[in-house]
Structure 1
């Protein structure tokens, strides 16, 4: 049964598959301390009593659960677009003055990975039902109450690095995780017990907002991914300069990780854009002009099925205003003046800040 499920997971398109027991996560106390310190910021759903209860015991999420099938999808370490032919990835993500390229997390330029995972997990669930009629399953991606990296380490898929990402010695960290909870009793895989970060602290030192703390802790309130995606309100002014031109997510702690230097990419990028799916402009001014002209329903239609729908129109314009202010280019002033008159108070405030920090 285990061998056939593993084969079915491969057929469904997953790159890794491991089996973990449905037991409380190893780092349960660390998770509770993380919440107690407020490191989750405005992500209140992570601290809800029912959510915490299910994260601390998978059997709360699926009564009778005995096994977690943990799967991964590689999305690749190669930047999806570059500023010029031959320019290195490190150059592309540098937030130096005069840059108008909107830097976007590698996973985001294409389909929303949640949709891809759901389709493939449903296919795996159907295969399990065919193998074991009556077996119950429940799928989760990162929006669900599962401490996925903890269970992934227990399933042998890698170790949790100092940047709190799951790392694999051959695959690096450019992959997403998904889980299928089941009441089938399947022999677990050996856990990944080796910590291969050693004395390296490149991720900690490279984080421009100092969000990565010693002890494998991430203060989400300082993380650029949180600030540009999950945060619904204003980005703290003292953090805005460090964001540079990163307008959606951040890959810095993965870019500097030695385990990603030779990490392979997928044969077929799993989150590739659908045919006809429009791509955001490669210029912050052009992107801001496009978004500023969109009504809410037009934005939803334009970005449906993409990760950009998460922060919404106003959140993206907020991020672009910060990036334009950090560009240091006087030529971005006209679009910022337009955003200063936007219907959204959030956009207006960040546009005013950006205008104030521009030279001259």
Structure 2
């Protein structure tokens, strides 16, 4: 068994040097039956909608060895993206996490650098980097590693910087000295996120029906809308439940430079979006998460907003 407990402080310092706001270690060898049961019930309710991959790869979510052979530990990091509410020329709204460079590439590159550093400590270390790209219970692992708590809107909330963060993980085949969950922090009696959601997607504290969620509707829902949908002006994502959260009210504007709003997005007028062609879309947005959703769905969302205004 590979043990690197003595290098814990060195690893955390390296993660901070790479720009991550904070880092924690979580044990992957201890199953959480309660979480598995909650997830299975969530799937049974069809709250995942058209995200069939969530059901297809459900087993991998709770069996780390299916993702990384002999997985022992998760090194969990937070990458802040908060640069304030994006100032967009267009009437169309875009979630603040989507106005900069594609976080999948940015965060995973930093995690790859961290993995390379781990190999200098012990060449036998093997691992794999994740950030919203595989069946990984990211928010649970982050909470378990003491990086925040899971709020009533289902988001990870860090008491110091709120919820405008990307979560990244390194699964490795080595043991560490594990961190403990935070104590004394919660949403308390606050229900602002439940009240603010236009479509009542947060059906219970910590439980979201994706099919009602604007982020799901604008990004994951692939087909045409069969009936009028309330998108609240959004063509990609939604920040409503985060914007009303008290933990975000005074959160520091400390996002990575890569996640600043791109001029190509900020400067586009409403008519520019509506006239956007496929070649221009690829040229301007191939390095953003907007490109993953595709121009067809963005056009569909714009059309829906026009219909319901």
Residues 277-286 or 214-223, more deviating: 277-286
Distance apart, 1:35 and its partner CA: 0.9
C-alpha contact 2:82 2:255 (8 A) present in aligned 1: no
Distance apart, 1:207 and its partner CA: 0.3
Distance apart, 1:199 and its partner CA: 1.1
The match for 1:10 is: 16
Higher RCO structure, 1 or 2 (CA under 8 Å, sep 6+): 2
TM-score under structure 2 length normalisation: 0.92
Equivalent of 1:224, from 214, 231, 234? 214
The match for 1:102 is: 92
Q: Please, what is the CA RMSD of the aligned residues?
A: 1.8
Distance apart, 1:191 and its partner CA: 1.4
| Alpha-carbon separation, structure 2, partners of 1:125 and 1:183 | 11
Task: Give deviations 1:223-274, integer Å, cap 9, x for gaps.
Answer: 0001001111123424x2x212111100000001111111112164342367
| Alpha-carbon separation, structure 2, partners of 1:184 and 1:112 | 30
**2:38 paired with 1:30:** yes
SS in 2 for 1:54: helix
| Alpha-carbon separation, structure 2, partners of 1:318 and 1:34 | 28
| Alpha-carbon separation, structure 2, partners of 1:109 and 1:264 | 18
The match for 1:278 is: 264
SS in 1 for 2:259: coil
| Alpha-carbon separation, structure 2, partners of 1:268 and 1:298 | 26
Distance apart, 1:326 and its partner CA: 3.7
C-alpha contact 2:80 2:165 (8 A) present in aligned 1: yes
SS in 1 for 2:168: strand
Asked which structure has the greater CA Rg, the reply is 1
The match for 1:19 is: 25
Distance apart, 1:323 and its partner CA: 2.2
TM-score under structure 1 length normalisation: 0.79
The match for 1:259 is: 247
Aligned residues: 301
**2:146 paired with 1:156:** yes
The match for 1:305 is: 287
C-alpha contact 1:77 1:260 (8 A) present in aligned 2: no
Q: How do residues 48-67 of structure 1 correspond to structure 2 at under 5 angstroms?
A: 48=56, 51-67=57-73
Label 1:34 to 1:259 Cα distance change in 2 as closer, same or farther (>3 A). same
